[in-house]
Structure 1
Amino acid sequence: MNQQTLEEKKQILFDFINSDQYEPLKFKEIAMVLQVPKNEKDELRMVLESLIFEGKITVDNKGKYSIIESNIKVGTFSGTQRGFGFVIIEGEPEDIFIPANETKGAMHGDTVQIKISKEQTGKRVEGEVLTILERNNARIVGTFQKSNNFGFVIPDNQKFSKDIFIPKEHTKGAVTGHKVVVDITNYGNAEKNPEGRIKEILGHINDPGVDIMSIIMANNLPLEFPEGVLHQIENIPEEVDTKDLAGRMDIRNLQTVTIDGEDAKDLDDAITISKKDDIYTLGVHIADVTNYVKEGSPLDVEALKRGTSVYLVDRVIPMLPHKLSNGICSLNAGVDRLALSCFMDIDAKGNVVGHKLSETVINVDQRMSYTSVKKILEDRDEAEIKEYEAFVPMFELMLELANILREKRRKRGSIDFDFPESKISLDKNGKPIEIKPYERNKATKIIEDFMLIANETVAEDFFWQELPFVYRTHETPDPEKIEKLGIFINNFGYTIKIGQDEIHPKELQKLLAKIEDTPEEPLISRLTLRSMKQAKYTTNCEGHFGLSAKYYCHFTSPIRRYPDLQIHRIIKENLKGGLGEKRVKHYEKILNDVARQCSITERRADESEREVEKLKKVEYMQQFIGETFEGVISGITSWGMYVELPNTVEGMVRVADLQDDYYIYDEAGYMMIGEHTKKTYKLGQKVTVEVIGADKLQRTIDFDFVDVIESTEN
């Protein structure tokens, strides 16, 4: 077997196990039949494990290998607090339910091989774990509880259903209430808890900053940059070197602005704009990060490892060191900066009739905030208009073009989810002092529109050049999920058309327009979003369903996203005529791994950001226990009803806490009905609730109904 490639070896083994003469054999028996030398047995085992991981063969509890049956699948285990779990199988529309007694000790995030039961419980397909193929978590963060001769750690992540046993000699002096990092030494099984040793004590649960640090550690977010990176940035200048200007287009004479949030420090996009006759010339100028981050350098390796900057409520964990992200790469006003620019000629209908990509040197005239531009364009604030008088015509022209671009996207079916994000303000000790919706305005939408058109233009250009590239892909939703959405919205009198097993984004866009300003809008919007697939990075141009775009990539944020940095490198090489056959093959070899890594790190960042936000919302509501608020029923399950307050905080009214009746969950109608009183709670209903609990450990907020503002009786 030694002369073949790994793929050839896997094929030989698969063909052997798949042959008609084959009877299930143990490892030693396979090695004997195939006459595998002693020094190649480890490799044989590795090849067998690869085939198991790919879901092609299986091994039973007697250690015998056989071809996998159609009802045996490989997926990722998602645990729950109550012991049962679900297995997510790539490409399958439905998760597989795993009862608590069938998990075989699988922990959240593990890769498992499961057997799907033929029977279904209700509407849910059930299965059992056969084998744990790969453990996902060797390290857990949680709260330490001390006993006389040992301790145990309650994991922060509620999806880990079991506490971790810590022998006394491995407690490292931790006391009850300490937040700790635990290395798992034994994963246990269905009957026995996992065992571990304390690696690090983060501090007491009530110490400032420990809560967020626990989430950072639990998600393996890298804080410190390696020595090689720190050494490399010592040689990076504070200002642009004149030798770097050679061969660049000099556009320092063009009126140029950046528009960002007030507290933004990594400014990676600037705008120029002009109009002649009916043609707008829009310049989107993006920080030329690749000039300082060379391929294969320590900086580049670390940037790919991080994949993205992570924006938590009290800090940013940057993809690049601050010397670059806030310094030489940031398009700060009044200083020369290197950029990669996309100039687009756009007609009155929003069509890009010509474009050009160039390496440039720019000098931003004015650093603007979204708030200031909103005051000028929306509020017509006289003081603001006077202060930025020289730029007002530019902002008005930007608004004019942005409206055209947005209308064009609307006509083709682009879906615009306008959920208010949460803006959480903390005091110096990390305590939340205010939570409110962070609303989009005309200024934020202008920049969004300009970045979208630049991303589309660059993606289409490189698609037709047939060069290796990283695209941003949002696939068409699974028909089953859309069918469920259709059944659900029928309860509210809405319909969506599905043609040839696929839905056009325009149908969902029309649905969102119909529900605008209705009580059910938040719920249907969320369910529509959940019916879609998660966007990801790919090397194939597969389009962006949500934007209804055939071509899409991420070009505009190389300071904080690695895919943007990666495609900048390709664009620049191509501009200089250096993308020959050798370099094309190089990129074809590495880009699939780059896309996969960036998709993984993006999900990690999103999850971390959501966890911190949820934690701070719980902490914020602790001060309001006993107080009442108006809210809207935003979700209903068999165990309770979610209520969302105007400040974006969401809590639950548990069915078990309702004392006035026994309530039955009507799954088809998404409502809760009192058995005797026939009192009905529906989605979108306005209610008054009392805050009765806020648990930081469980990350839950509990409400109780005080009054129903919009009451309904059956």
Structure 2
Amino acid sequence: MNEKKLEERKKMIYGLLCDELYVPMRTKEIAMLLDIPKSKRQDLQEVLDALVEEGKAQVSKKGKYQKAEKVVKEGAFISHAKGFGFVCVEDEGEDYYIPEEYVGNAFHGDQVRIELLPPSKGKRREAKIIEVLSHDISTVVGTYEKSKNYGFVISDNARITQDIFIPQGKDMHAVDGHKVVCQITSYGKKNRNPEGVITEILGHRNDPGVDIMSIVRGFDLPTEFPEKVLNQATRVANEVSEADRAGRLDLRGVTMVTIDGEDAKDLDDAISICHKGDGYELGVHIADVSNYVQERSALDEEAKKRGTSVYLVDRVIPMLPHTLSNGICSLNAGEDRLALSCIMTLDAKGNVIDHTIAETVVNIDARMSYTSVKKILVDKDPAECKKYQDLVPMFALMEELSGLIRKKRMQRGSIDFDFPETKIVLDAQGHAVDVMPYERNVATKIIEDFMLIANETVAEHFYWQEIPFLYRTHATPDGEKIRKLATFIGNFGYTIKGGADEVHPKELQKLLGKIQGTPEEDFISRLTLRSMQQAKYTVECTGHFGLAADYYCHFTSPIRRYPDLQIHRIIKETLRGRYNETRREHYESLLPVIATETSRLERRADEVEREVDKLKKVEYMSRHIGETFEGIVSSVTGWGLYVELPNTIEGLVHISTIRGDYYQFVEETYELVGERTNRHYKLGQRVKVVVDDCDTMARTIDFVLAEDEDE
């Protein structure tokens, strides 16, 4: 049947299926009604199949046809800078694509009702927005552009594609280039912009720090503490008294140190260590923040609202006021401090064979830095060793035990992604003047190992107590992602044993071991990381896949993480014998909410930190336009090559800029291949690039291949 005839038949039969007098009907009944002979039944079936495929008709299990019912769903609208968008429906794996003509007046973040469109062959499911149910975004941060009698705010968020109209008298006397916070008063209609009023001027876009503050405010991060919270922090931040020490295990005579970055001011963990028989006694001592932040107090409510401290390149947005986080709750050397200690006995192989959890009072002997401990243990620096000569044996013992703990963790399959972090150096004006990789060293690994073992020990202890608790869990990777990973690494001769739905972390650990030192190490490591689930807080102890741990929680950072503060309260109630049925019921209702909300706030903090880093990297590279760098191809896509430089900065070489040939993307091997020259650009390949353009608004860097690469 030719296409024209098929369309005519489809219209006729669809009209019949719309008539409620006849439907539902089998093929035979439709043929009889339309007087179609048996010889033409195959043509009829072709028409019916086409109507079903287009979503205009539906067929029951008994083979009866009728007009398809409209499928309506609800979800969150995610706008795209190019005008189209997606709707994410909860508990469904795939988002629905919304073509630009069906977006209507929906605003990024809105909860909307959608109607599914008939499926198109080879395309993802499409839908149109039929109703806006509620708005998620009420304020916008952006740049003000002034006209004679009115102005517009151009959002920093590229997903908010409409400029916000600001009527005369609603602009707080902002001028061109001011970064502002705008309260939306109307979300607009078709062919009419949203409208708003400026509520705050952050400063001019060229003023120091305004660029970062714009990102912070764009994510609705609280930056100032309410006066009530600050007053309460001042009142409770008294020096440790005799009454405070009463009933606590006094560890002030035990040698212990803090080891942190040079710039750290919130020192919430200290370490003590000594030989015990053939093994070791390791003490992990954590600031007793819960002694000063009482449940349901103004301080507690503000900490819960923030969820976590946020560490940016030019500032820290703390969970608690500095009076506490840098003062009485910080384990400052030479000062009595209240702590919650996990004191573990380990055998000669690094196994925890006994432990005690206690409320303690401590006095830190020395405030050490990672750099200083590295100088002592690795560099054997004479000056540093002499300065801390009484503590050098202690650091050697730490290194010894840390190695045993790490070896044991690796044996069970713990996955260690050793990516260099980025260190961004700013000048006095807040401009990025250097970007460099910040590598872990022996001291950072010692602290990491000791914090992990303490977190595991506390989690296991309270799991067997069978009381409500907050755990840090990490689910087994999604089977489909592991299958894709296995297919990809197969191109490089690597394999993952076991089925995709039952992969063991040890298999991924083995993979990382095999690729160590190879050109493909970095991108396979990143791809492996992307194939894994996101860790989160839960009330169920389902284990931590990445650490290959059956029991895990966050116990060691109550100054900067709310879940740690919360479980400290539970721990102390059990230690003091105050835990009862009433408290059980209280925590059973409270903890699921805290787990969900703190997981969300953690993701928000991570996103803010990433966006600020991206902004400063773009700013740094904007001073190097036209310069040539050597990097490694870190990702290959249909639109080009991503190249990562040694300083961790990544940029895109768009496929349209690669001269000398027409390049096709080969998905199976993640390569761009020239049609005429058969030249390959693949993952891990070293290339020279020239910085072509930097967009601070979009936070993107464009590279082009250096001329000798194009030849």
Smaller-chain TM-score bracket: 0.7 to 0.9
Give the drift of 1:100.
2.9
Partner residue of 1:7?
Answer: none
2:319–2:559 CA contact under 8 A, matched in 1: yes
Other structure's SS at 2:620 match: helix
Q: Distance in 2 between matches of 1:346 and 1:587?
A: 32
Question: Does 425-434 or 162-171 show the bigger shift?
Answer: 162-171
Inter-partner Cα distance in structure 2 for 1:120 and 1:512:
41
Q: Secondary structure at the match of 2:631?
A: strand
Paired amino acid for 1:377: L
Contact 2:237–2:323 under 8 Å retained in 1: no
| Structure with the greater alpha carbon radius of gyration | 2
2:372 corresponds to: 372
Counterpart of 1:306?
306
Q: Secondary structure at the match of 2:706?
A: strand
CA spacing shift, 1:686–1:369, aligned 2, 3 Å: same
- CA contact 1:686–1:708 (8 Å) conserved in 2: no
Q: Report the count of equivalent residues.
A: 644
Determine if contact 2:276/2:345 at 8 Å carries over to the other structure.
no
* 8 Å Cα contact 1:671-1:682 kept in structure 2: yes
AA aligned to 2:85 is G
Q: Could you tell me whether the CA contact under 8 Å between 2:237 and 2:327 is conserved in 1? A: no
**Partner residue of 1:229?**
229
**Most deviating of 323-332 and 381-390:** 381-390
CA contact (8 A) 1:259 1:369 kept: yes
Matches within 5 A, 1:315-464: 315-464=315-464
Partners in 1 of 2:457 and 2:112 — Cα distance?
A: 42
Instruction: For 2:668 and 2:122, locate their aligned partners in 1 and report how far apart those are by CA, in whole Å.
Output: 13
Q: Which residue of 2 aligns with 1:208?
A: 208
Q: In structure 2, what is the equivalent of residue 688 of structure 1?
A: 688
The offset of 1:704, in angstroms, is: 0.8
Q: Which amino acid aligns with 1:669?
A: T
Aligned to 2:187: 187
- The offset of 1:285, in angstroms, is 0.2
Cα shift readout 1:390-420 (whole Å, capped 9, x = no counterpart): 1111111111111111111111111111111
**Structure 1, residues 8-44: CA drift from partner, whole Å, max 9, x if none?**
xxxxxxxxxxxxxxxxxxxxxxxxxxxxxxxxxxxxx
Name the CA distance, whole Å, in 2 between partners of 1:482 and 1:74: 30
Contact 1:673 1:681 (8 Å CA) reproduced: yes
Q: Equivalent residue for 2:615?
A: 615
Match of 1:648 in 2: 648
Q: CA deviation at 1:201?
A: 1.8
Compute the TM-score of the two structures, normalised by the length of structure 1: 0.86
When residues 326 and 634 of structure 1 are mapped into structure 2, their CA distance, relative to the original with a 3 A threshold, is same
Q: Which residue of 1 aligns with 2:593?
A: 593
Q: What's the offset of the Cα at 1:686?
A: 0.5
Q: SS where residue 234 of structure 1 aligns?
A: helix
Deviation of residue 436 (structure 1)?
Answer: 0.5
Q: Deviations over 1:205-261 (max 9, x none)?
A: 111111011011111111111121122123124421221000000011111000000
Q: Which residue of 2 aligns with 1:534?
A: 534
- Say yes or no: does 1:291 pair with 2:256: no
Does residue 475 (structure 1) correspond to residue 475 (structure 2)? The answer is yes
| Cα deviation code 1:416-473 (max 9, x no counterpart) | 1111110011111101111110100110000000000111111111111111111111
Q: 1:214 to 1:475 in 2, by over 3 A?
A: same
1:669: Cα distance to partner? 2.2
- SS of the aligned residue for 2:501 comes to coil
Distance 1:74 1:512 in 2: 41
- Match of 2:26? none
1:172 paired to 2:182 = no
* Matches for 1:234-253 after TM superposition, within 5 Å: 234-253=234-253
Q: Which amino acid aligns with 2:705?
A: F
Offset, 1:349: 2.6
Q: Structure 2: how far apart are the matches of 1:688 and 1:358?
A: 57
* Match of residue 63 from structure 2: none
| DSSP 3-state at the match of 2:235 | coil
- Residue 566 of structure 2: aligned partner: 566
Q: How far does residue 284 in structure 1 lie from its aligned partner after superposition?
A: 0.3
Name the SS of the counterpart of 2:391 in structure 1: helix
Q: Structure 1 residues 293, 174: closer, same or farther in 2, change over 3 A?
A: same
Structure 1 residue 148, shift from structure 2 partner: 4.1
Q: Deviations over 1:349-375 (max 9, x none)?
A: 322111110000000001100001111
Listed one character per residue, the Cα deviations across residues 104-155 of structure 1 (whole Å, up to 9, x for unaligned) are: 4443333344455673675745444444433221111111223344322221
Moved more, 233-242 or 508-517: 233-242
Report the AA paired with residue 219 of structure 1: F
Q: Which amino acid aligns with 2:484?
A: K
Q: Is the 8 A contact 1:101 1:190 kept in 2?
A: no
Q: Tell me, what secondary structure is at the counterpart of 2:648?
A: coil
* CA offsets 1:582-630 (integer angstroms, 9 cap, x no match): 1111111111111112111111111111111111111111111111111
Partner of residue 514, structure 1: 514
**Structure 1: any 5+ residue segments left out of the alignment?**
1-68
Secondary structure, aligned partner of 1:460: helix
Report which stretch shifted further, 157-166 or 287-296: 157-166
The CA deviation string for residues 284-312 of structure 1, in whole angstroms up to 9 with x for no partner, is 00000011111111001101011111101
- 1:492 counterpart = 2:489: no
Q: Distance in 1 between matches of 2:493 and 2:359?
A: 54
Give the TM-score taking structure 2 as reference length: 0.87
Q: Distance in 2 between matches of 1:469 and 1:114?
A: 39
Cα separation, 1, equivalents of 2:122 and 2:708: 32
Q: Point out where structure 2 has 5 or more consecutive residues left out of the alignment.
A: 1-68
Matched with 2:3 is: none
- The separation in 2 between residues aligned to 1:373 and 1:424, in whole angstroms, is 23
Instruction: Answer whether contact 1:687 1:707 (CA < 8 A) is retained.
Output: no
Instruction: Provide the residue aligned with 2:219 in structure 1.
Output: 219
Which secondary structure state, in structure 2, belongs to the residue aligned with residue 448 of structure 1?
helix
Contact 2:483 2:500 in 1 (8 A): no
For residue 501 of structure 1, give the secondary structure of its aligned residue in structure 2: helix
What is residue 18 of structure 1 aligned with on the other side? none
Change (3 A) 1:674 1:392: same
Report if the CA contact (8 A) 2:156-2:697 is conserved: yes
Q: What is the identity, as a one-letter code, of the residue corresponding to 1:291?
A: N
Q: Counterpart of 1:373 in structure 2: which amino acid?
A: V
Is the Cα–Cα contact under 8 Å of residues 103 and 190 in structure 1 kept in the other structure? no
Q: Which amino acid aligns with 1:583?
A: R
Q: Distance in 2 between matches of 1:244 and 1:89?
A: 52
The 5 A counterparts of 1:100-115 are 100-115=100-115
Kindly tell me: are residues 353 and 122 of structure 1, through their superposed partners in 2, closer, same or farther at Cα, counting changes over 3 Å? farther
Change over 3 Å in CA distance of 1:90–1:446 after alignment to 2? farther
Cα distance change on mapping 1:488 and 1:72 into 2, 3 Å:
farther
1:393 to 1:117, Cα distance in 2 relative to 1, 3 A: farther
Pair 685,500 (structure 1): closer, same or farther in 2 beyond 3 Å: closer
Whole-Å separation in 1 of the counterparts to 2:494 and 2:162: 44
Distance in 1 (CA, whole Å) between partners of 2:394 and 2:662 is 62
Distance 2:120 2:443 in 1: 51
Matches within 5 A, 1:69-218: 73-115=73-115, 119=119, 122=122, 124-189=124-189, 191-218=191-218
CA distance in 1, matches of 2:305, 2:144: 31
Instruction: Give the Cα–Cα distance (whole angstroms) in 2 for the partners of residues 97 and 345 of structure 1.
Output: 57
Q: Are 1:672 and 1:681, in contact at CA under 8 Å, matched by a contact in 2?
A: yes
Deviation at 1:90, TM superposition (A): 4.7
Amino acid at match of 1:221: L
Report the aligned-residue RMSD.
2.2
> Letter of the aligned partner of 1:231 in structure 2?
N
Alpha-carbon distance in structure 2 between the residues aligned to 1:240 and 1:334: 13
